[in-house]
Structure 1
């Protein structure tokens, strides 16, 4: 009989109650300062990252190989026969390839690794939906077949306070940088479904207009079909909560969840001022 494990990484931004409900195994990114290192969401808070950016911008690293190995060893000890791993976009990190190598060392577990080509709750929704299917008793191969469709219904958009941190962290992708900043252009950023890198979905001049435009984009999607709404922020609670309270009133929003702050490691690369919007389209 199949026993299916579900794994992801700490950037998925799923609340603790969801992680517990679906028995999700989370592997943790690392945040590295010159003289110290932290494990994402374990011994560092998002607030600590933001409040110390003026002193030092840390680097980040994917979950340690030891942690990945220990996770798979534990699954073997618990008698798991199969595993589904959903990773942060391979366009932003090497975790997808890293966990693939570790999984090959554990042939007793049949492992399927899915590149979310997303981040934060965009990644988290895929994990959560897999958790629901596992809980329902669906067979491993049938879940695997459904994951691309789940991914195709995820829409992710965000704006940041400044592009400075995306540029410094090498995560700028196809988002216009320096000239746009001089003209006060505030891009609405999405992730390319092909290469999993950031790109400019739309651009407007000024922060206020960019927030209004993101609301327009969301409502246009909501007008077409029933959707779930999820929002996260990066040291930007007020703007994000205000947008969330407005969007959740749309008649086609079936579930609305304010998920709080993004992971500390994501905060390193986005900086303060992030408003993140994820829309999950319901099946017809």
Structure 2
């Protein structure tokens, strides 16, 4: 009989209550300062990260190899026969590859690493469906077959107050970022099929950027019922206001506000507002 463990990393932005509810095994990314480093979400909060940015912009790194090894040992010790990982995009992190290599040392555990090609709640929403399928008794084979189809129905979009942090983190060209700042251009950023950031559309100023997010949501809802998560990082008031405006739109089957974690916050800076949309 199959006993399936579900693994995800802190790029998924699922909160502790949800992780515990579905007994997900959690791999924290690392937030690295000159004099210290922290386990993402476990040892540093988004608020603490934002407060530190004026003094130092930390680097981010994939989960520690020994932490991954210990997690797999724990999974085996608890009698699991199979493990499915829903990992942050390999285009943004080496987490999936590191887990794949370390899992080779555990031949008795049949492991499938799914590269979500996304992050934050788009990644988290895929993990949630996998968790629900495990809970309902679906087989390992059924779950891994459906994951790519779920990913095709899942999208994420966000806008930022400033492009400075993406520039400093090497996630966007310095020249294009500087020109955008000068013209007060606020790009709507999404992730392509290769799991890399790209500019979905552009707006002039913050108000127009939020309006563009509303247009994107309307487009999705016009063709299908959708689950919706409003993403925010240091922009809770704006997220709440956006929630009130869109919460009763037809075709929304779920809507909530999700806070992005420190690892994404390093590259976004305070002021991220976005959407995760999953077509039912």
Query: When the two structures are superposed, what TM-score results if normalisation uses the length of structure 2?
Result: 0.97
Rounded to whole Å, the distance in 2 between the matches of 1:21 and 1:173 is: 41
1:84 is matched with 84
On the 8 A contact 2:213/2:274 being kept in 1, the answer is: no
2:275 is matched with 277
2:141 is matched with 141
CA deviations 1:216-253 (Å, max 9, x no partner) are 11011112111111112111111111112212210110
The alignment partner of 1:224 has SS state of coil
Given the superposition, is the C-alpha separation of residues 215 and 176 from structure 1 closer, same or farther in structure 2, using an over 3 Å criterion?
A: farther
1:230-241 paired onto structure 2 within 5 Å: 230-241=229-240
Rounded to whole Å, the distance in 2 between the matches of 1:247 and 1:162 is: 25
CA deviations 1:96-144 (Å, max 9, x no partner) are 1111101111111111001111110010011000000001111101111
2:248 is matched with 249
- Give the aligned length: 280
Rounded to whole Å, the distance in 1 between the matches of 2:189 and 2:68 is: 31
CA deviations 1:39-95 (Å, max 9, x no partner) are 111111111111111110011111000100000001111111100001111111111
Q: Post-superposition shift, 1:188? A: 0.3
Q: Post-superposition shift, 1:33? A: 0.9
CA deviations 1:25-46 (Å, max 9, x no partner) are 0111111111111111111111
2:262 is matched with 264
Rounded to whole Å, the distance in 1 between the matches of 2:72 and 2:195 is: 26
Rounded to whole Å, the distance in 2 between the matches of 1:258 and 1:133 is: 24
Rounded to whole Å, the distance in 1 between the matches of 2:27 and 2:244 is: 32
CA RMSD of aligned residues (A): 1.4
Consecutive unaligned residues in structure 2, runs of 5 or more: none
Query: When the two structures are superposed, what TM-score results if normalisation uses the length of structure 1?
Result: 0.96
Matched, 1:219 2:218: yes
Rounded to whole Å, the distance in 2 between the matches of 1:176 and 1:154 is: 28
1:204 is matched with 203
